[in-house]
Structures are given as C-alpha cells and as structure tokens.
Amino acid sequence: MRPPPSRAEVVVVGGGVMGAAIAYHLALRGVRDVLLLERGALCSGPTRHSTAIVRLHYTQPLLVRMALHGQRTYRAFEQVVGSPSGYTRTGMLFGVHHAERAMLEGNVAVGRAEGVETYLLDAAQVAELEPRIVAEDLAFCFEPEAGHCDPYLVTAGFAAAARRAGAGVYEGVLVEAVEDGAVRTSTGRIEASAVVVAAGAWSGALLEPLGYTLPLRAAPAEVGRYRLPPGFGSPPPAVADFSSAQLYFRPAEPGVLEVGSLDPRHADAPVDPDRPPEGAGDATLDGYRRALARRLRGTEGGHWRGAWCGVYDVTPDWEPAIGAVPGTDGVYVAAGFSGHGFKLAPAVGVAIAELVCDGAAQAFDLELLSPERFARGALVGARYGYSVLG
C-alpha cells in the first residue's frame, strides 16, 4: 500500500469503531482529504473484543439519545452505510436488588421520556417472558428492542463507506505524535487543518505532550464464550444482573452465550493496553459459570469454548471525553469510552463531524462529556455504582 499523502484536511487517529465512524461522517459531510490512520489493522484493538450490546438503559438523557441514534443506525446499517452490521435483536433484561429499585425506575423514566420502549417487570412477568430466569430476588426492567452487532462488520463497514465517500484509510501507520496542525507518523509528517484522536486507551499518551491530561486506566475486561448444554433450547434475552454476581450475558451464535463482568473493580488493577492478559483466568470463568447457573436455569453442564481479555479505556466517571482538546487549535478527542462506547459510535461520528465542520455539535449537546471536565472536577453522575449505565 502507498503511504498516506503529506497533507490532509482532517486526520483521524485510530481505526476502531470510533475512528471509522468519525472518518465516515467527515467524508459524508464533503470534507476533502480525510485520512484515517490505524497503526495495526482496522478493528485490531479493543473494538474487536466488544460484545457490542446495543441497549438504551442509561441515567443521562444525552447518552440515551446517543445510544438511540446508534441503535437506529445499526438496525438500518445496510441501507444507510451500505453493508450489514450484524444487528441481532434479543431484548435485554436489567435486574437490581429490590432495595435499589429506585435506580431502575429512574433509568426507565429517563428512557421513556426519550421515546425508548422499556418497562418494569415483576417476577411473574419475567417468568412469562423467559421462564428460565431466576427472578424473585431482583427487580427487573426490559428493553425489547435491545440487541447486539458484529463489531468487525460495523468498523469495516464504516471504513469502506468512508473510502467510497473519498476518505483515505491507511492501516499499518503509527501516529508517533500529534501537533497543532500536523501529525508525525511512521511514514512521515502529515499536515492537517484538524486532527481527531480516537485512539482508545492510547489517546492519553498522544495528547499529554499538548498539555492536556486525559485520565485513563486500561481495565482488563474478561469475556467467556459459554456453550450451553444440549437441550437448552431457544436463546434467552441478554441480561445485566446487578445482584452481587455483577454479570452480563448475551446470546451469540446458536447454543452459545458471551458472558462478562459488570464489576467496576476490574478497573482497579489496570493493565498495559499493549500487553493485556491472554484469555480469561480460571477463577473468573468459574465465577461466571456459577453466577450464570444461579440466574439462568438449565445452563449447568455447559462448557467454555474460549475466552478473551479486552481492554476498557476507563475515565474517572466512566464516560468519554468528546470535543476540542483544551489549549489546542484544531485537535479533537473522542476517547475514554469506558466499556460502553460501541453503541455510541454512530452519534460520535455525527457529533465530531459537526464540531470539525461547523465549529459546534448540533445534533447532541456534548457539554456533559467535555474533555476539560476532569480538570474542573465536573464528573458525570450515574445512578448505578457501575457507570457503564451512566
């Protein structure tokens, strides 16, 4: 492949789902010479490990709106972007201790006010929906339209559509430094009117020399693929179980669940994002298996068919930084998605394209997620301790 040119209108750093969505929306807006630079292959970073669940259960109306935009985009991806997203509707149940029912009700009210179909269920109603769920000990709500995508299809689809709209997509190009008005790369210097850093857990290191600190921890996120025993039957809905189990699972291909943790403490033992652990630990998988058996009847006798450890780029409030980088002229950031960014990527693409092209984001008011809120101590609040539901 030929190296990228030495001049671009906008350089986007990072070929995960965020960078690909941003490059697509910039190209769609008619920005000439958009370059998407990825040091490895497209979707070779944490996006590839994503369980890619698309649900709308959030505390903040802004996040509900962004997630709703994401869900609509992924459902219509083929018509809108030109290739499949793999969107599979499963519905999703959220369960919390009865003592925390107010949090659940609060998020349901926020969702409903934004037009989301979501409602509370008592144990009998959960049993009607999915009799294999153990429901008595928790309060539940349900989101019937929730589902998941194939994160590779989405990233590759955005990148291909960006290319068709005129963007240059370059793999194997490492951005060594970001400057006001340029990037230095492994293939040479590229001048640019604007630079967007969407480099996930690596974004902080690229921005620090510009005088901006993005406080990120690279948290290990272990996921196991559980082969359900013969005779289990039809797939269950996706479930977020906020009992002491702090577990989530969602159906994958027939007979298989992807199972992961909702316990925020995994961010307390950060890892080197370039060297995350291989696979998931035996103790983790044992814990997942036991918690799964407690929540979903009929799963005993299944087995693990592989596991992996992804990385979350976690900020102090578990919310991303999206916007202009303070103290720079033409550098933007979209990073720190803290384990829940997949569903937000289409909205982030729209918002960053507006910021770069129009000087302000119109479709979504990004004030809440301003990159300078960490310095101001203006962190985003969430009802749950686990802020992927912020």
Ligand X SMILES: Cc1cc2nc3c(=O)[nH]c(=O)nc-3n(C[C@H](O)[C@H](O)[C@H](O)COP(=O)(O)OP(=O)(O)OC[C@H]3O[C@@H](n4cnc5c(N)ncnc54)[C@H](O)[C@@H]3O)c2cc1C
Q: Which stretch binds ligand X (CB under 6 A): 44-52, 101-109, 138-146, 377-385?
A: 44-52
Looking at beta carbons only, is 39 or 289 nearer to ligand X?
39
Q: Which stretch binds ligand X (CB under 6 A): 4-12, 37-45, 103-111, 357-365?
A: 37-45
46 binds ligand X (CB under 6 A): yes
19 binds ligand X (CB under 6 A): yes
Q: For residue 166, give the DSSP letter.
A: T
Looking at beta carbons only, is 108 or 347 nearer to ligand X?
347
The answer to whether 314 and 295 have CB atoms below 8 angstroms apart is no
Per-residue x/- marks for ligand X, 316-335, CB under 6 A?
-------------------x
Tokens of 263: 């316990």
Tokens of 342: 């997949």
Measured between alpha carbons, how far is 73 from 344 in angstroms, rounded to an integer? 10
Measured between alpha carbons, how far is 4 from 7 in angstroms, rounded to an integer? 9
Q: Which stretch binds ligand X (CB under 6 A): 13-21, 118-126, 130-138, 297-305?
A: 13-21
Binder to ligand X among 25, 39, 57, 266 (CB under 6 A)? 39
Q: Which stretch binds ligand X (CB under 6 A): 25-33, 46-54, 117-125, 363-371?
A: 46-54
Binder to ligand X among 95, 147, 168, 200 (CB under 6 A)? 200
- Name every residue whose Cβ is closer than 8 Å to that of residue 202 and which is 6 or more positions away in sequence: 14, 273
Binder to ligand X among 12, 34, 47, 289 (CB under 6 A)? 47
Binder to ligand X among 109, 113, 174, 375 (CB under 6 A)? 174
Measured between alpha carbons, how far is 236 from 297 in angstroms, rounded to an integer? 11
Q: Which stretch binds ligand X (CB under 6 A): 76-84, 104-112, 277-285, 337-345?
A: 337-345
247 binds ligand X (CB under 6 A): no
Tell which positions 48-67 bind ligand X, by CB under 6 A. Answer: 49-53
343 binds ligand X (CB under 6 A): yes
Write out the DSSP string of 176-211.
EEEETTEEEETTEEEEEEEEEE--GGGHHHHHGGGT
Looking at beta carbons only, is 13 or 27 nearer to ligand X?
13
Measured between alpha carbons, how far is 9 from 235 in angstroms, rounded to an integer? 47
- How many residues sit close enough to ligand X to count as binding (CB under 6 A)? 41
Instruction: Spell out a b/e string for 190-219, using b for 16 or more CB atoms within 10 Å of the CB, else e.
Output: bebebbbbbbbbbbbebbeebebebebbbb
| E strand map for the chain | 7-13, 34-38, 53-54, 88-89, 92-97, 119-121, 138-143, 147-148, 168-171, 175-179, 182-185, 188-197, 217-227, 238-241, 247-251, 256-261, 303-314, 321-324, 331-335
Binder to ligand X among 18, 27, 31, 167 (CB under 6 A)? 18
Using the structure block, give the residue that is written with the tokens 């950031």.
333
Measured between alpha carbons, how far is 265 from 79 in angstroms, rounded to an integer? 40
Measured between alpha carbons, how far is 176 from 248 in angstroms, rounded to an integer? 37
341 binds ligand X (CB under 6 A): yes
Tell which positions 116-135 bind ligand X, by CB under 6 A. Answer: none
Q: Which stretch binds ligand X (CB under 6 A): 47-55, 86-94, 135-143, 298-306?
A: 47-55
Measured between alpha carbons, how far is 275 from 258 in angstroms, rounded to an integer? 22
223 binds ligand X (CB under 6 A): yes
- The angle subtended at Cα 335 by Cα 59 and Cα 88, nearest 5°, is 60
Binder to ligand X among 23, 26, 28, 37 (CB under 6 A)? 37
For the bound state, the minimum distance from the C-beta of residue 146 to ligand X, rounded and expressed in Å, comes to 10
Per-residue x/- marks for ligand X, 276-315, CB under 6 A?
----------------------------------xxx---
Q: For binding to ligand X (CB under 6 A), which residues are involved?
A: 13-19, 37-40, 44-47, 49-53, 174-175, 198-202, 206, 221, 223, 260, 310-312, 335, 337, 339-343
